[in-house]
Amino acid sequence: MTDNDVPGGHSATVGLPGRERRSDGAARAVPRHVACVMDGNGRWAQRRSLPRTAGHRAAEATVIDIIEAARSAGVEWLSLYAFSTENWNRPGAEVDYLMRLVRRVVRKHAPLLLARGIRCRFTGAADPRIPHGLARDFDDLTMLTGDNRGMTLTVAFDHGGRRDIVEAARALILSGTPADEVNERLFAEYLPFPDTPDVDLVIRTSGEQRISNFMLWKVAYSEWVFPEVLWPDFRAADFLACLHTYQRRARRFGGLPSQTNGDSR
Ligand code: IPE
Ligand code: IPE
Ligand code: MG
């Protein structure tokens, strides 16, 4: 099995080790920030000779399952990629369906998210084509859960990593900051939700292995896993298997594994 493989047979009940570091340098910790590229809804439906929209509808159960799995595993930040700036290129009927579906999901699950202590927020959502009612529901859920102190759930909707970077650059220029004062730390403050830590682990379902313009700045040093399972079939056990895969990785950030610190012969 390669490091990229996500084992299938993991039990969802296997407890995750705490935040200690292993002797081989692997960061044996629950990733603090996990982000999911929720991919494969269309193929899930096509394999069942159903319209693509049926795959989007089936994705709802996975979303709820994964939010709960992440929360109970001790993940502090969960980001879900729900709609990209490029997804506007899809047929109008599919886009309309997604807008209606997301609205229904947000309204339906608001009480559960509140009760679980999850703080919800949305990144993106800038395009005037987003229905007013949906934008209002995003604001309402953000307000409703704003005082929660459990996991922070960020839904990337109408999100584009490049757009975020361009808008940060524009805001920085408009602020009049002298060029020689611009550094990575300052630049990051102009990105949406600067309190959000870098992503530790990205899970992209359906076997596709690309970034697709997702949180470009914050995934600079993320670990990635690419389970073959399609998003509507992805469940808590699969999510925990991804966390275990992450725990076997040695994160180096350009340095050396921790056990060789001070001994770089
Ligand atoms: C992901 O599933 C959902 C969105 C992008 C909104 P897809 O709709 O991309 O499913 P595939 O990749 O066509 O199977
Ligand atoms: C990325 O998936 C966006 C979301 C999951 C919301 P896509 O299915 O749109 O990405 P590409 O087109 O395959 O790169
Ligand atoms: Mg896709």
pLDDT, one tens digit per residue, over 133-177 is 999 999 999 999 999 999 999 999 999 999 999 999 999 999 999
Listed in sequence order, the residues at least 6 apart from 107 whose beta carbon sits closer than 8 Å to its beta carbon are 137
pLDDT band at residue 9 under the 50/70/90 scheme:
very low
Q: How many CB atoms lie within 10 A of CB 75?
A: 24
Q: Are 161 and 216 in contact (CB under 8 A)?
A: yes
Reported pTM: 0.90
Dump pLDDT digits (tens) for 196-243: 999 999 999 999 999 999 999 999 999 999 999 999 999 999 999 999
Are residues 117 and 149 in contact, defined by beta-carbon separation less than 8 angstroms? Answer: yes
- pLDDT tens-digit readout, 241-253: 999 999 999 999 9
126 pLDDT band, cuts 50/70/90, is: confident
Residue 87 Cβ inside 6 Å of ligand 1? The answer reads: yes
The answer to whether residues 152 and 121 touch, using CB atoms and an 8 Å cutoff, is: yes
Catalytic residue among 3, 4, 5, 39: 39
pLDDT band at 2 (very low <50, low <70, confident <90, very high): very low
Q: Is the pLDDT of residue 183 over 50?
A: yes
Residue 171, number of CB atoms within 10 A of its CB: 13
pLDDT for res 74: 97
DSSP-derived secondary structure letter, 78 = E
Give the ligand 2 atom nearest the CA of 208.
13
Q: Which helix (H) or strand (E) holds 84?
A: strand 77-84
pLDDT of 57 above 90? yes
Distance 141 CA to ligand 3 centre (A): 27
Task: Write down all domains in the chain, each with its CATH number in brackets.
Answer: 19-250 (3.40.1180.10)
pLDDT band at 257 (very low <50, low <70, confident <90, very high): confident
Q: Is the CB of 62 under 6 A from ligand 1?
A: no
Average pLDDT value for residue range 117-142: 96
